[in-house]
A and B are shown apart, each in its own frame.
Chain A
């Protein structure tokens, strides 16, 4: 079988890219070894957040946020999205200075979505934070969505546009041909395409290595937990910290989704993660300090999923240097969910040979080599 574009990985990146390409007239086949949403895309914490993002991602994140508000029209599902302002707390004056500097920097770049707020506004947004908090930085338009619903909605939208999604189909071999690429699947079938897209998430390094293009993407298992219902505790505001690892997301039913950089040991080959509850014990210690009322909360469930990470924590987006026609969209380092709608758009632009509507230079695959030569 043949298509213009072969996409490996049916997570949200693969499906969003396929959707945009199909809308621009390309024929697309997606290979997904499990089902769309089985991995990071369907099991993340659903944070649709601009606040606190690496400066290099801001332009894309701000544009992506607009797309989150339009999903009902664009992919026929609201994706369970709702607004929950994200408030990053400063626990002392030094931290507050960090937040002030961030706002200044963003303002200078022309963005005003994150604003420093005083204690009164912090308390209005989040009445139960501890007394030692001195201020914060808030993004009023941040929100949360349902990751499984979103992943399925993107997959369904892509299928409606004529994209073929081969579920339970793993790409086990990939090679270049005179006219593009050829892949072999676990069902022992061959497919050919002019372009090939690597959307394999945690497996991105492995997959790319098949084509002789090693990537600095490593796998990790971000670990989260959810509490029992604590009605009124979060007041609809999600929280982050400036100096410590913690993210608290205020789900609509009163439960709190807790994360912020905790990891568990894992084995990517066997697809096994050993949830390390002592990581959550660390989060719990901070939680009860930040919000003493949470002492009474219960840890209901921990979960993790595989994610592809890069040491500087921003993704690789663009064409391979070594293998022309091969494109990478990977290494989202545990915050790609919010960016996905926009990733589909810019990917389709560069794959059609157009100039992307936003520059992607910061996400170049060879940025680390650049650094080496610069030094």
Chain B
């Protein structure tokens, strides 16, 4: 392993794969670090090892990834799987754990392709064993062909809910209900984005067909699909036993041992914030995203961001953004001239623009519902430290509007996940309780390491002498 590269790419999803291959093909020295065991990121997780049956179930959206993997494998990239990056700095230093020790690498450019994560939303019972995310379920299937064999309820709002429902139906999982929490009227404001979305009519029809297919299968198997669902909760002693909710004026309840939820996907900004990228608030999807152009540039000259970590646009766009970022860096390092850059970047920009066109519609259609964070007072919000919504509301009432101060006093967000799980909820509670504009509220600070590191691993690091002061 070298210790110094032209560029280090973090994340081997479609963005990181496309970016690193492109950089290597321009003659740059490139390393890719990813915590998974094989390349592919979230969507193409485990694609190189997956069985034909897994490919068949997951369909062309998955199998298509083989192309970007192939290009990646053909390029001269130092690929370091099973590397958990826990700190990056604008100086180009990257710190990570691998094989029981911590390591440091340096590069002129860092490209952060850390992707997206499911929006964490606390609700009563969300900490019970048996509650997991739709994406988490999908990962279990991609990694090890695991499928629920006991009654399972799916709940939430957004494309991933329907994708996972389709897969689970195909796998004959015992789905007992699908609870769509999207407000009924939300499609109306979204309609103004329809003309633009129809630029990709094929994609839109595919989405419609997916949802229609799931409805059809549900009808055949007598699985209820409830719409306009509110007040979702999981109940049980040591494990989910009941999934309850309200649907219109009616109380509904299903016996189940697994509840899969998805309330949308948000950029995974942990590393981006730790390194110091500036962020902007998206009032529609209600998430923070880095201030990044489509060319990947951030406020820090040495740091670039590509893929869903920059804004949730999906896998193909992630790939295009990875490529554009690579071209920008190659141009900055004078490996390609300005003219070459323009000539090569334009077609990628065009594809990206087309690919993104349905997004405003989807973002509006599946915008987080207004009561999404109307969390009851006795519900745990910070699961690491066991802090409830009521305790947080008390702090806000006492005048605290900075998650960092709330954290320092009641430890909310101070545990191992560093607020990854409670951050969005605390933020919404502050917005609700303080009447502050969301963009004016300070986000909680991310301190390294963004993922815990064992002291033994740390002690095994090679370091210089202490300069005591």
Contacts and interface: CB of A to CB of B under 8 A. Distances in A.
Interface stretch (B23-31, B166-174, B208-216, B402-410): B402-410
B469 A309 contact: yes
A298 B452 contact: yes
Interface stretch (A83-91, A131-139, A284-292): A284-292
Chain A CB count within 10 A is highest, among B447, B458, B466, for: B458
Interface of A: 35, 37, 42-43, 146-149, 152, 220, 227-228, 245, 253, 261-263, 272, 274-275, 277-282, 284-285, 287-288, 294-303, 309
Contacts of B461: 278, 281, 284
Interface residues of B, number: 35
A261 B468 contact: yes
A10 to B, nearest CB: 13
Contact of A245 (B90, B416, B468): B468
B408 A147 contact: yes
Contacts of B91: 274
A284 B409 contact: no
Interface in B353-383: none
10 contacts: A35-B405, A42-B408, A43-B408, A146-B409, A277-B458, A298-B416, A298-B452, A298-B455, A300-B418, A301-B449
B408 A277 contact: no
B188 interface: no
B46 interface: no
A285 B449 contact: no
A284 B452 contact: no
A101 to B, nearest CB: 22
Given A146-B409, A148-B405, A277-B448, A288 B455 contact: yes
B151 interface: no
Contacts of A280: 458
Given A220-B469, A277-B95, A282-B466, A297 B447 contact: no
B405 A279 contact: no
Contact of B458 (A148, A272, A281): A281
Contact of B102 (A253, A281, A296): A281
Interface of B: 86-87, 89-91, 95, 102, 104, 276, 402, 405, 408-409, 411, 414-416, 418, 447-449, 452-456, 458-459, 461, 463-464, 466-469
A294 B90 CA distance: 31
A142 to B, nearest CB: 21
A299 B448 CA distance: 9
Nearest to B90: A274
Given A245-B468, A299-B454, A282 B408 contact: no
B449 A302 contact: yes
A220 B276 CA distance: 20
B459 A284 contact: yes
A262 B469 CA distance: 8
A294 B87 contact: no
Contact of B87 (A245, A275, A287): A275
Contacts of A278: 104, 461, 463-464
A147 B102 CA distance: 31
| Nearest 10 CB-CB pairings of A with B | A148-B408, A284-B458, A298-B452, A281-B461, A284-B459, A278-B463, A284-B455, A295-B456, A285-B459, A299-B453
A66 B463 CA distance: 42
Nearest to B86: A277
Nearest to B449: A299
Contacts of A43: 408
B353 to A, nearest CB: 36
A253 B416 CA distance: 13
Nearest to A294: B455
Contact of B409 (A152, A277, A288, A295): A152
Nearest to B407: A148
Contact of A295 (B276, B448, B455): B455
Contacts of B90: 274
B409 A149 contact: yes
Contact of A300 (B415, B459, B463): B415
Nearest to A279: B466
B458 A37 contact: no
A230 B278 CA distance: 35
B466 A298 contact: no
A297 B408 contact: no
A227 B455 contact: yes
A147 B276 CA distance: 25
A299 B452 contact: yes
B408 A298 contact: no
A263 B469 CA distance: 8
Contacts of B414: 301
A209 B402 CA distance: 32
Contacts of A282: 463, 466
B458 A228 contact: no
A292 B455 CA distance: 11
Contact of B452 (A146, A245, A300): A300
A214 B464 CA distance: 34
A282 to B, nearest CB: 5
A303 B463 contact: no
A301 B456 contact: no
B409 A148 contact: yes
Nearest to B408: A148
Given A275-B447, A284-B458, 12 more contacts: A35-B405, A146-B408, A146-B409, A148-B409, A245-B466, A277-B95, A278-B464, A287-B459, A288-B456, A300-B418, A301-B447, A302-B447
Contact of B405 (A37, A261, A262, A274): A37
Chain A CB count within 10 A is highest, among B409, B456, B467, for: B409
Contacts of B104: 278
Contacts of A146: 408-409
Contacts of B452: 228, 298-300
B455 A302 contact: no
Nearest to B406: A148
A193 to B, nearest CB: 27
A42 B408 CA distance: 8
A287 B457 CA distance: 13
Contacts of B102: 277, 281
B87 A277 contact: yes
Chain A CB count within 10 A is highest, among B414, B448, B455, for: B455
Contacts of A261: 468-469
Contact of B449 (A35, A277, A287): A277
Given A37-B405, A152-B409, A262-B466, A281 B459 contact: yes
A42 B90 CA distance: 26
Contacts of A227: 455
A57 to B, nearest CB: 18
A281 B416 CA distance: 18
Contacts of B86: 277
A234 to B, nearest CB: 14
Contacts of B463: 278, 281-282
